[in-house]
């Protein structure tokens, strides 16, 4: 892979990952605000269902997309050119524990959703 192609794919996937952070934060902030300030509205089972479904579906969608960004980073570290791989940045990328980061991202999202669902119901 050409170095310019590698750099443009890396930049594109980095922007994709960055664009997923804000929706994740907004989704869970809204859920927490509803739980903190509008807990009386959760007495209706339809409100509970809507809030739970949006939390689960939104988190699942965001987590799957963010995991694909990490999978692409893993593939890109294997496709580094020799000049990038021998640089300080390339050596840092090669040592990054992407597998552990993927597991932590999924585990964090799952724990967050479970805690929110317990608070909703």
* Confidence grade of residue 60 (pLDDT, cut at 50, 70, 90): very high
Residue 63: domain span:
3-37+46-120
Q: Looking at residue 79, what DSSP letter applies?
A: T
* Confidence grade of residue 38 (pLDDT, cut at 50, 70, 90): confident
- pLDDT of 3 strictly over 90: no
The structure tokens listed for 16 are 């994709």
Whole-number pLDDT of residue 22: 95
> What's the whole-model pTM score?
0.84
Task: Return d(Cα 58, Cα 31) in angstroms, integer.
Answer: 11
User: What is the tally of structural domains in the chain?
Assistant: 1
Neighbour-count burial of 55, counting CB atoms closer than 10 A to its CB (0-12 exposed, 13-18 middle, 19+ buried): buried
Q: How far is CA 70 from CA 52, 76, 89, 97, in A?
A: 27, 10, 17, 10
């Amino acid at each position: 892979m050409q170095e310019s192609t590698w750099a443009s794919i890396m930049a594109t996937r980095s922007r994709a990952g960055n664009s997923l952070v804000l929706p994740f934060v907004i989704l869970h902030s809204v859920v927490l605000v509803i739980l903190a300030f509008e807990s009386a509205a959760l007495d209706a089972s339809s409100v509970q269902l809507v809030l739970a479904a949006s939390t689960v579906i939104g988190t699942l969608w965001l987590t799957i997309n963010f995991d694909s960004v990490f999978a692409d980073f893993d593939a890109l570290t294997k496709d580094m050119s020799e000049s990038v791989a021998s640089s300080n940045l390339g050596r840092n990328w090669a040592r990054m524990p992407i597998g552990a980061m993927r597991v932590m991202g999924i585990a964090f999202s799952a724990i967050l959703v479970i805690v929110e669902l317990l608070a909703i119901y």
